[in-house]
Amino acid sequence: MAGGAGSPALRALLAGPPATGTVVHAGPQAVYADLGGAVVGVVARGAVHVPCAVATTLTDLPDVAAGDEVTAGDGVLRVGPLGVAATRLVSFTVPRTPAAVLPDVTAELSTARDQLPAEALARLAAGDPAAVPALVGRGDGLTPVGDDVLAGWLVAAHAAGRDDAAVAAAVLAHLPRTTGLSAALLRHAVAGEAIAPFRAVLVRADAAAVAALLAVGHSSGAGMLLGAHLALSSSITHEALEGSTR
């Protein structure tokens, strides 16, 4: 059995009643499974540690395939020949940062912005829940870029003390429109939880933290940072967003 780092909630889930599920994504760096409606995972040391996964120091994970069975119980998640437990607890909660100011890197966010409707982004900047249907599930991959933007907005708004209740409710209502993993991460975002590179940006907002976040996925980091800008930058307007996509 391998030990790893995980959230208190994930350790409690694995210590609960025995459960069986199936792998929904498999790769050498990350494996995710649907465990009775809850998405859980295990990641190797080169992968981004997300709130619903146990992070290990393994270089690569065992060779498993989508549809393979996984089990959980007695505090252990069993994926193929690998058993992992959350032996070290970590927090994904972003601290309250009401004075957070992000560096102006909007020009570097085109990989996310150009995939999404400018009107929806402008509505999100205003905190309008009508933006949500146009963004949830929009884009390719396990975490569509529209979801990444919403996650970034939710976490940044939560950290800044902005009223996020209407947008959060709309996101939760539209979760069936996206992937299981992305839905799980959006639930964590509603609770103010995020990956470490995004937390670092909100806490420090320096060039190194921004660069590390932008390196996450093809557009995931850019999407989260765009969402944070929409939540924190009152200068972003509908016209500016439209102009940036021309």
- Our count of domains for the chain comes to 2
Average pLDDT score over residue span 35-39? 91
Domain-located, residue 121: yes
Same structural domain for residues 148 and 56? no
Same structural domain for residues 85 and 110? no
99 falls in which pLDDT band (50, 70, 90)? low
Domain-located, residue 184: yes
φ, ψ for residue 6, nearest 5 deg: -155, 170
User: The domain containing residue 180 runs over which residues?
Assistant: 106-244
Query: What percent of the chain has pLDDT above 90?
Result: 80
The predicted pLDDT at position 102 comes to 80
Measured between alpha carbons, how far is residue 151 from residues 89, 115, 179, 186 in Å?
A: 23, 16, 14, 6
pLDDT at residue 106 above 90?
no
Domain-located, residue 7: yes
The predicted pLDDT at position 234 comes to 56
Same structural domain for residues 44 and 138? no
The predicted pLDDT at position 41 comes to 96
Same structural domain for residues 83 and 118? no
Same structural domain for residues 158 and 215? yes
Same structural domain for residues 66 and 33? yes
The predicted pLDDT at position 172 comes to 98
How do strand 82-89 and strand 53-55 relate by DSSP bridges? unpaired
Same structural domain for residues 74 and 192? no
103 falls in which pLDDT band (50, 70, 90)? confident
